[in-house]
Amino acid sequence: MALLDIRNVSRRFGDLKALDDVSLSIEAGEFFTLVGPSGCGKTTLLRIIAGFDDPDGGDLLLDGQSLAGMPPEKRPVHTVFQSYALFPHLTVAQNVAFPLQMAGKSESEIRSRVKETLELVHLTDKARQFPHELSGGQRQRVALARSLINNPRLLLLDEPLAALDARLRVQIQGELIALQREVGITFVFVTHSQEEALALSHRIAVMNEGRIVQIGAPEQIYSSPKNRFVADFIGTINLLSVDVREATSDHLRLHAAGLGEITSVPASGVAAGQRGAFALRPEQVNVVAPGDFQELDNHFHGTVRDHLYLGDVTLYKIALDNGVVLEALLTNSLPGCVRFLERGDPVGVGWRREAGVFLHD
């Protein structure tokens, strides 16, 4: 049995369908992420799980028990708010002790649990300080400690890293993964950042316009996006408009207008005559000397239009003969071998048939 079962949940705000028949199961111990652009319904879903909002239709089951009509204070579900919402008049220790006091624990138990939990988030020396005396990263850890201390069945995190600077964000991501593994509590994480979703999660649900578009492991979502929206939202991707010329058990033969044929691996449910897009990640595109295509099943001629040097990698924009621009990502791992391609250089681009996926419209 799943820990949390979301069944056909819908929520409208006036004419807007914030959630449209959403069903989802979250397993115990999972780090589950809801990702999508702003307004996709992910925060609404989180508030419904926490109990701050009620669905217009559908039901939520936690451990098989319906949560309908149960107020937030009664749910064994805690939230880490985007603003952290630390109590400004209470010290770090008093903030962290709050949920235990609400649960009516004894003074001695509260004292020892607060000590343990502050150790867990490395804030023992800040116990007597007030939130305004802490840095952003420390406040974030207090918020985590406060939400974790009485072992909720489910921890909801509402864009908790949004307020931190980039460096700290990466550091806290690492801490979050370690923390979740250590405490074993199920995390439901909401973010609009696909990088965070990929880096943190066991499973990801990609949401758009109130619906769940695709659910899967990060590598699944990244390598086999279900449609144009997911392909475009998660990572960067090249999309070529194609129609299917031939679909056999051995291969797919696609035709890109003005460009030519593309050979790809077979995919279920694809038939000749379908129209769609061929999606190819920039790191799957090889850039070679013109004509030197080796074993690349698909290859085209092009010209370097632009390059973006990022230190570890360089992103090249290569204009193909029909005007389509492909992005190719090359690692700069061997300094001696890197020959920077200049704007206007003629190059060959190609990829193996295993690379890329066909997404039909």
Using CB under 8 A as the binding rule, whether residue 87 contacts another protein is answered as yes
Measured from the CB of residue 229, what is the shortest distance to another protein in angstroms?
31
Instruction: Tell me if 103 contacts another protein by CB under 8 A.
Output: yes
Could you say which of 43, 147, 194, 298 contacts another protein (CB under 8 A)? 147
Q: Does 94 bind another protein (CB under 8 A)?
A: yes
Considering only residues 247 to 266 of the shown chain, the ones binding another protein according to CB under 8 A are none
275-280 and 357-360 beta bridge pairing: antiparallel
Q: Residue 137 CB, nearest distance to another protein (Å)?
A: 15
What 3 state SS string does 122-172 have? Answer: CCHHHCCCCHHHCCHHHHHHHHHHHHHCCCCCEEEEECCCCCCCHHHHHHH
Residue of 33, 43, 44, 79 interacting with another protein (CB under 8 A): 79
Residue whose CB is less far from another protein, 73 or 250: 73
**Interface with another protein (CB under 8 A), residue from 36, 99, 282, 356:** 99
Q: The tokens of 95 are what?
A: 């903030």
**Pick 34 or 318: Cβ nearer another protein:** 34
Of the pair 86, 200, the CB lying nearest another protein is at: 86
- Compute CA distances 348 → 271, 296, 343, whole Å: 30, 10, 14
Q: Which run of H or E residues covers position 353?
A: none
Q: Residue 58, interface with another protein (CB under 8 A)?
A: no
- Is there a contact between 218 and 254 (Cβ–Cβ < 8 Å)? no
Please identify, among the stretches 145-153, 230-238, 240-248, 259-267, the one whose residues bind another protein according to the rule CB under 8 A: 145-153
Q: Taking CB under 8 A as the rule, does residue 194 contact another protein?
A: no
Give, to the nearest 10 degrees, the angle between helix 136-148 and helix 166-183: 20
Check the CA dihedral 134-136-141-145 and report its sign: positive
Least distance (Å) from another protein to the CB of residue 139?
13
Q: Which position has the token pair 């990022």?
A: 310
By beta-carbon proximity to another protein, the closer residue of 73 and 295 is 73
Stretch 150-179: interaction string toward another protein, x if CB under 8 A = x-----------------------------
Give yes or no for a contact between 280 and 356, defined as CB atoms under 8 angstroms apart. Answer: yes
Query: Which residues are within 8 A (CB) of 93 and not within 5 positions of it... i.e. 6 or more apart?
Result: 114, 118, 127, 128
User: What separation, in Å, do the N-terminal and C-terminal C-alpha atoms of the chain show?
Assistant: 35
Geometric angle at alpha carbon 158, from 123 and 110, rounded to 5°: 40
Stretch that binds another protein, among 85-93, 176-184, 272-280, 304-312 (CB under 8 A): 85-93
Q: Are strands 346-351 and 298-309 parallel, antiparallel or unpaired?
A: antiparallel
Residue nearer to another protein on the CB measure, 74 or 122:
74
Report the site for another protein in 300-359 (rule: CB under 8 A): none
Nearer to another protein, 154 or 296 (CB): 154
SS3 percent helix, strand, coil of the chain, rounded to 5, is 25, 35, 40
d(CA 122, CA 180): 15
Is residue 141 involved in binding another protein (CB under 8 A)? no
Closest distance of CB 62 from another protein, Å: 15
Spatial distance between the Cα atoms of 196 and 177, rounded to a whole number of angstroms: 11
Cβ atoms of 324 and 257 closer than 8 Å: no
Q: Verify binding: residue 88, another protein, rule CB under 8 A.
A: yes
Instruction: Give residues 120-139 in contact with another protein (rule: CB under 8 A).
Output: 127-128
**Interacting span for another protein (CB under 8 A) from 2-10, 93-101, 163-171, 216-224:** 93-101
Interaction of residue 37 with another protein, rule CB under 8 A: no
Member of 13, 23, 27, 52 binding another protein (CB under 8 A): 52
Binding site residues, another protein, CB under 8 A: 50, 52, 71-74, 77-79, 81, 83, 85-89, 91, 93-94, 98-99, 102-103, 127-128, 146-147, 150
